Structure 1
C-alpha cells in the first residue's frame, strides 16, 4: 500500500509534500526547469552576444549545434551513472558542475570562449534523463507514465520561460545601474548560481528510492532493484527496442527543439509577421508543455491498463504518426490562420508523443532504467542535430542562390528574395522531417514484449490499483 514512504506512490497527489515520492517529483521537476532555463538562457540575448563578440553567422549556428551536441554524450553517460550511484548524487553533481559553464558564459571575451561554454552548457540537458529515472523509481506502474510525462513537461517549460524570465532578470540588473549591453552577462551568472544552489537542495531533500538511498540500502544488505550488476550496459545496447525508442525520441523531442528553434524566422519569412509576434507565438507553443506532455503519459497509462504493454506502444505509434501528418500539413500552409491551426495541433501531438515515449521506457528493462533512459534521451538531441543540419544546409544553399540571382537589384529586393528562398527551403525541410516522423511512428509497432513481461506489468498494475489509497 502507498501509505508510507516505504513504497512507490500509486497516485500523483501534488499537494502531499510529506510523501517522499511527491516531494521528489517537485524537486526534480524544478531542477529540470532550471537546467533548461539556463541551457537556453542565452537565446534571448543572442543579438547582443553577436554584436559584442562579433560572431559570424556560421559561429552563431555552430553555437546552437554545439549546445545540442554536448547533451548527447552527457545523456548517454548519465543514465549509466544513475544505475550505479543513484539519481540523487547524479543530479546534485550535474547541477553544481553544470552551473560552472553557465556562469563562465557571462564572462567570455572571445567567440571561441563562447563556443566552448555553449558546448559544456549543453551537458545540463542530461537533467532530463535523471528526472525520468528518479520519477520511474518513485511511482508505481499505474501512474509512472503520467508522473514521467508531467515532470518532464513542466521541466521543459524552462526552455520557453527563459524568453520572458531572462529579459526580466536583465531588466532587474539594469535597475541597479548596470549598462544594458552588459546585462546578459549578469543574467547568465545569476542563472548559473541558482542552478548551483538547487544542487544543494537536491542533495539534502531527496533520496534515490522510497526505501532510501542506494548507498544506505547496499550497506544494510537490502536488494536494490536497479543494481548495475543485475544487467550490463551491453545488454541494453543489444536490445533493439532501445534503439527504436531512440529513433522515436529523435523524431519527437528532437524535432520539437529544431522546429521551435527555427519557427520565429519561418513565421516572419512566410507570413510576414513581426519578430515580437512570431516570438510570442513560439513561446505560447512551448508553454503547452504545462499539460500536453502530461496527456501523452496519461493516455499511455490508460492504454496500458486496457491493452497491456502493447497498448502503450499502439498509442505511441498513433500519436507519433499524427505528429508527422500535422508537420507535413503545416509545411504546405500558405494562410496564417490555417498555418497556426496546424502548428497548434503539431505542438500538442509532438509533446504528447514525448510523454507517451517515456510511458514505455520504464518497461523495456526494469533493471537498467537509467541506461535505457540515457540512450533514448540522447536520441532527442541526435534528432535535433540532424534536423538542424538539414534545415541549415537547405536554407544556406537557397539563400546564396537567391542573393546571386538578384545581385544589383538593391538591398530591399535581395532581402525579399533571400527571405522567400529561406521560407521555401525550410518548408521543404519540414515536409521531409514530417515524412521521417510518420516512419518513426510506424516503427514503434515493431516494439514487442514477452508474455512474461506482460504478466508482470499486469500484476504490478493490479496491485497498484488495489492499493490506490490517498497517502496521509
Structure 2
C-alpha cells in the first residue's frame, strides 16, 4: 500500500475509502453468491467468480488514477464471496457428523492464504525488482501475477471438482436424479425471515469481523502501547493470522463433538461458550500494560476468535438444509459488516483522541506532539477493544436463543449416526 500511495498520489481519505470499498464489495457479493450456489452449484459459481474476479486484479496493476484504483478495489472485493462458495461446497460434500470440521478447516486455510499473501506479494515485488523493474512499478507486476494465478485456479476448479458426491447439479438433473439439496428448494425470502440466520449474522460479525479489525489495527497498537519496532509488531500480527491453519479447525471439531453429545443444541452451547471466552480475552488484553502478559492474552484471543468462527459454521448447515447457500451468504456477509462497524468505532475514537492531543501540545515541538498522538491513540484503541470485547460477550448470550425443532434434532441425530461405509456415491458422467 505505501508503494501504491506514492505511485498514484493517494490522499489518506482515498486510501481509507479503498479499504471500505473492498469490504463493501465483499458484503454484497456474499449476499448474492449464496443464492446462485443454491441454483447452479458451487463448482460453476467458483469457476466464474475466480475467472471474472481475476480481471479487476490484473487491471489494478494497470491503473493510472486514484479513481481507477478505487473502482478496481471495489470489484476485487467481490472475490471475498469465495468464502461462501467454499462453505456451501464443503457442506454438500461432507457428512453431518464432520461438516463442522470440514467447514472450519477449509475456511481456516482461506484465512491462512490471507496471511501468506502479506508475505507473498512483497516477495513477488522484490523478485520483479531483481529483474530490473523500477521499484515504484513493482507492485503493479505483483497484482498482474496474482490475477493470473486467480484465473488459472478457476480453470483448475472447473476440471477437478464436482458439486456433490453424487455428481454435478446439471448432470444429476439431466439424468433425472434429485438430491436433497435441490428437492423442495425454499425461497430466499424464507431464509431472510428466519431469526436464526440473523443471529448468526451478528455472531459472525462478532468473531470474524472483530478478528479482521483487531489484526488490522494491532500493528499500530503494539507500537504505540509497548514501543515495539514496526517489523516486530508486524511479525507478531502475522503469526496470529497463521494460527488459522489449526485454530479454526478446532472450533469446527469441537462443534461436531458437542453436536454428537448434545445434538444441535450442543453446537449452539459450544458457540456461545467460545464467544464468551473470546470477548473476555480481548477485554483483558486491552487492560494489560506488560508486553509479555499482553502477548499471552493475545494468543488466547487469537485462538478463541478463530475457534468461534469455526463453531459458527458448524451450526450454519443445520439452519436450513434446503438453502445452505443463502444462509451461508448472509452469515458470511455479517463478518465484513462487523469488520466495517468495528473499524469505524476504533477510527472515530482514535481520531478524536489524537486531535485533542495535538491541540493540547500545540507549540511544544513535532516530537512531543507525535509522542502525545501515539499515547492518545493507544488509550483510545484500548478503550475501543474493551467495548468490542463486551459486545462480543453480549452476543454470546444472544446466541443462546438459537433453537431447533425436535424434528430437526431427530434428523441430525439420525444423520450423525449413519455408517459412512453404507453410503455409495452415484457416479454420473456427462
Q: Normalising by structure 2, what TM-score?
A: 0.97
Q: Unaligned stretches of 5+ in structure 2?
A: 425-430
Given candidates 403, 416, 439, the residue that maps to 2:371 is 416
For residues 281 and 17 of structure 2, the distance between their equivalents in structure 1, rounded to whole angstroms, comes to: 29
Whole-angstrom distance in 1 between the partners of 2:351 and 2:5: 19
Q: Is the 8 A contact 1:141 1:464 kept in 2?
A: no
Is the Cα contact below 8 Å between 1:242 and 1:375 reproduced in 2?
A: yes
Q: 2:189 aligns with which of 234, 259, 266?
A: 234
Q: Is it true that 1:245 corresponds to 2:204 in the alignment?
A: no
Per the alignment, residue 447 of structure 1 pairs with 402
Q: Deviations over 1:232-285 (max 9, x none)?
A: 100000000000000000000000001111100110011110000000000000
Looking at structure 2, the residues matched to 77 and 457 of structure 1 have their Cα atoms a distance apart, in angstroms, of: 28
Question: What residue number does 1:305 align with?
Answer: 260
Q: Which moved more, 1:348-357 or 1:395-404?
A: 395-404
1:404 alignment partner, one of 339, 359, 366:
359
Deviation at 1:466, TM superposition (A): 7.0
1:91 matched to which residue of 2?
46
Aligned counterpart in structure 2 of residue 366 of structure 1, from 302, 321, 331: 321
Classify 1:68/1:156 alpha carbon distance in 2 versus 1 (closer, same or farther; 3 Å).
Answer: same
Aligned-residue offset at 1:464 = 3.8
Q: Which residue of 1 aligns with 2:87?
A: 132
Partner of 1:463: helix, strand, or coil?
coil
Conserved? CA contact 1:99–1:193, under 8 Å = yes
Change in CA separation of 1:174 and 1:215 when aligned onto 2, cut-off 3 Å = same
Deviation at 1:449, TM superposition (A): 0.4
Q: Distance in 1 between matches of 2:327 and 2:167?
A: 22
Structure 1 CA distance for aligned equivalents of residues 7 and 356 of structure 2? 30
Counterpart position of 1:262? 217
Counterpart of 1:3 in structure 2 is: none
Q: Which moved more, 1:116-125 or 1:311-320?
A: 116-125
Q: Distance in 1 between matches of 2:13 and 2:355?
A: 14
- 1:56-67 matches, within 5 Å, as 56-67=11-22
Runs of 4+ in 1 over 4 A off after TM superposition: 465-469
Using a 3 Å threshold, how does the CA distance of structure 1 residues 468 and 353 change in structure 2: closer, same or farther?
A: farther
Retained in 2: the 8 A contact 1:95–1:196? yes
* Counterpart Cα distance in 1 of 2:306 and 2:423: 28
Query: Which residue, out of 55, 73, 79, partners 1:118?
Result: 73
Instruction: State whether structure 2 residue 186 is matched by structure 1 residue 213.
Output: no
Structure 1 residues 99 and 420 mapped into 2: Cα distance closer, same or farther (>3 Å)? same
In the other structure, the counterpart of 1:101 is 56
* 211-220 vs 365-374, greater mean Cα deviation: 211-220
Q: Distance in 1 between matches of 2:104 and 2:36?
A: 22
TM-score when normalising by structure 1: 0.88
Q: 1:79 aligns with which of 17, 24, 34?
A: 34
Q: Which runs of 5+ in 1 are unaligned?
A: 1-45
Give the number of equivalent residue pairs: 424
Distance 1:169 1:460, change over 3 A: same
Which SS does the other structure have where 1:230 is aligned? Answer: coil
CA distance, structure 2, for counterparts of residue 464 and residue 237 of structure 1: 34
CA drift of 1:399 comes to 1.1
Match of 2:338 in 1: 383
Displacement of 1:362: 0.4
From 370, 373, 384, the counterpart of 1:429 = 384
Structure 1 residue 106: Cα displacement: 1.1
Q: Which residue of 2 aligns with 1:335?
A: 290
- 8 Å CA contact 1:142–1:465 kept in 2: the answer is no
The 8 Å contact of residues 163 and 169 in structure 2, kept in 1 or not, is answered as yes
RMSD: 1.3
2:155 corresponds to which residue?
A: 200
**How many Å apart are 1:226 and its aligned residue?**
2.0
Q: Kindly tell me: are residues 468 and 317 of structure 1, through their superposed partners in 2, closer, same or farther at Cα, counting changes over 3 Å?
A: farther
Do the aligned partners of 1:218 and 1:224 also contact (CA within 8 Å) in 2? no
